[in-house]
Amino acid sequence: MKAVLALALALVAGAALAQPVATLDPARSEITFTSTQMGVPVEGRFRRFDAAIALDPKRPETGSVGITLDATSATLGIAETDAELLKPNWFDTARFAQASFRSTAIRSTGAGRYEVAGTLTVKGSAQPVVVPVTLVQQGAMATATGAFTIKRLAYRIGEAEWADTSLVANDVQVRFKLVVNGLPPP
């Protein structure tokens, strides 16, 4: 995990020179995903991830966000299903142990609200995404929340017989709550 953090910090080094990098509180943070299988919502989560966030709320355009997910930590809460997630048809963690998000632009859309554009890479497939984020700051702590939808087949998640969208819908909603310490006050 230290290597993941070092990589994430290196990726935001330019912004980090101008802004401090906030420290993630993993115990209070979460990243979940909800898919629909045969019409029934199925929620999963990543148990291990890290984030490097450099953001001055007064100058969001100079900020950056880097998030690295340990794909081997994906869980649906059932051991047999979790074992399937690791296999080539799903996350193929033997070849792609990590997924990542790297911001390319951040803009304010109102008080405490931002649009973060970036590249989401899962299973070797990189796709552009725009993520709406709400940031609530209380002293030195800040909580960033948001949700966005991806098309799982664009990332080759659920291949072979699982590519049938009547079995597993193509849309997957990703939700996050990232609690960090060290952002400048608004």
Instruction: Identify the pLDDT of residue 18.
Output: 58
pLDDT per position as a tens digit, 92-121: 999 999 999 999 999 999 999 999 999 999
| DSSP labels, 74-126 | EE-S-HHHHHHHTSTTTT-TTT--EEEEEEEEEEEEETTEEEEEEEEEETTEE
Q: Which tens digits make up the pLDDT trace of 27-55?
A: 999 999 999 999 999 999 999 999 999 99
Task: Flag whether 7 is in a domain.
Answer: yes
Q: What is the largest CA-CA distance in the chain?
A: 50
**pLDDT tens track for 119-134:** 999 999 999 999 999 9
pLDDT greater than 60 at residue 8? no
**Residue span of the structural domain in which 162 resides:** 2-11+21-181
Tell me, yes or no, whether 41 lies in a domain: yes
- Residue 186 CB: number of other CB atoms within 10 A? 12
Query: Residue 140's pLDDT is what?
Result: 82
Query: Of 170 and 19, which is predicted with more confidence?
Result: 170
Q: Does residue 143 form part of some domain?
A: yes
144, 138 contact by CB (below 8 A): no
Q: Answer whether residue 100 is part of any domain.
A: yes
* Torsion over CA: 184, 101, 86, 40 (sign): positive
On whether residue 27 sits in a domain, the answer given is: yes
| Domain annotation covers residue 16 | no
Domain membership of residue 186 (yes or no) is no
pLDDT of residue 5: 42
Is residue 72 domain-resident?
A: yes
pTM: 0.88
Give the model's pLDDT for residue 166.
95
3-class SS of residue 154: helix
Tell me how many domains the chain contains: 1
CATH of the domain at 38: 2.40.128.110
